[in-house]
Amino acid sequence: MTTATITPIQPLAGPVTQARVVRSEWTKFSSLRSTWWSIAAAIVLTVGLGVLLSALAGSDTHASGAAADVAGRSEIGNLLSSLTLGVLAVLLIAGEYGTGMIRSSMTAVPRRLPVLWGKLAVFVGVLLPLSLLTSVLAFAFGQLAWRAQGRPAVWFGDPDVVRIVFGSALSLVVLGICGLAIGTLVRSTAGGITAVVGLFFVVPTLFQAMPANIADLARFLPSNAGGALWNASLSSRSMAPWTGFGLLCAYAVVLVAAAAWRLRRGDV
């Protein structure tokens, strides 16, 4: 009489680790058509608008030729890119709530928070090098358009140029993190996009129409605080560059902490 040996079935997937969650989030992120359309739009807006404004300023005899102003004009496209990438950040998680896919994600990762950390890692891992590259390209090609009008060259060794070019990229990344956190809190694509547009664009515009004592408070808004890092013409209403960026980072930390708490405690 022989005894059959039973071989236990091995699961196809290994244990849930943060690295595996990041890989899963990358697969979801890269498989969405909206991801690549948003990235393409951000590149075109940042570089294209920077070149256009540099060319227009170069042909204007009254335009300032100060290094900070020249660099600042070439990075204006990052303002519109922040809207495009902010919407992408919201879609990264709010879209899963809209389709119901979030239930599958949380079933696969019961602890939940690794999903949020995975999305943040993928988003920042893509957005940081992308924004740095496009900011440098916007400045470099903007210089070609600027010098084509017979204007003197401006380069990274000139005052404030490094701060403005790289600061615009860093602010864009942190604003994107805020957008991802807002999407996690709101859990609605429409609601998240509305919140991002309202907080980053509409509210700062409304403050400009307010009396001076109220308008002064606009510098504490997230977009204005981040803008202080790369704003070429800092006014008395602007925060110091690194102070403003520090405040923007503080907003991001608070929003991510709130998003983590809601994701951990709330139903899906």
| C-alpha separations of 138 from 32, 77, 141, 151, 264 in Å | 26, 8, 5, 17, 40
Look at residue 177 in the predicted model and tell me its pLDDT: 96
User: In 3D, which of 51, 44, 53 has the Cα closest to residue 130?
Assistant: 44
**pLDDT for residue 248 is more than 50:** yes
pLDDT tier, 220 (very low <50, low <70, confident <90, very high otherwise): very high
**pLDDT for residue 243 is more than 90:** yes
7 CB neighbour count, 10 Å cutoff? 6
Look at residue 13 in the predicted model and tell me its pLDDT: 54
Range 198-202 average pLDDT:
91
CA distance 145 to 139: 10
Which of residues 231 and 137 earns the better pLDDT score? 137
Q: What is the per-residue pLDDT across 53-100, written as a single tens digit (0 to 9) for each?
A: 999 998 988 888 899 999 999 999 998 999 999 999 999 999 888 888
Q: What is the per-residue pLDDT across 56-67, written as a single tens digit (0 to 9) for each?
A: 998 988 888 899
Look at residue 11 in the predicted model and tell me its pLDDT: 46
pLDDT tier, 10 (very low <50, low <70, confident <90, very high otherwise): very low
Phi-psi region of 28 (alpha: psi -120 to 50; beta: other; left: phi over 0): alpha
> Which of these ranges, 155-159, 163-167, 212-216, has the smallest mean pLDDT?
212-216
Average model confidence (pLDDT) for the chain? 89
pLDDT tier, 46 (very low <50, low <70, confident <90, very high otherwise): very high
**pLDDT for residue 257 is more than 80:** yes
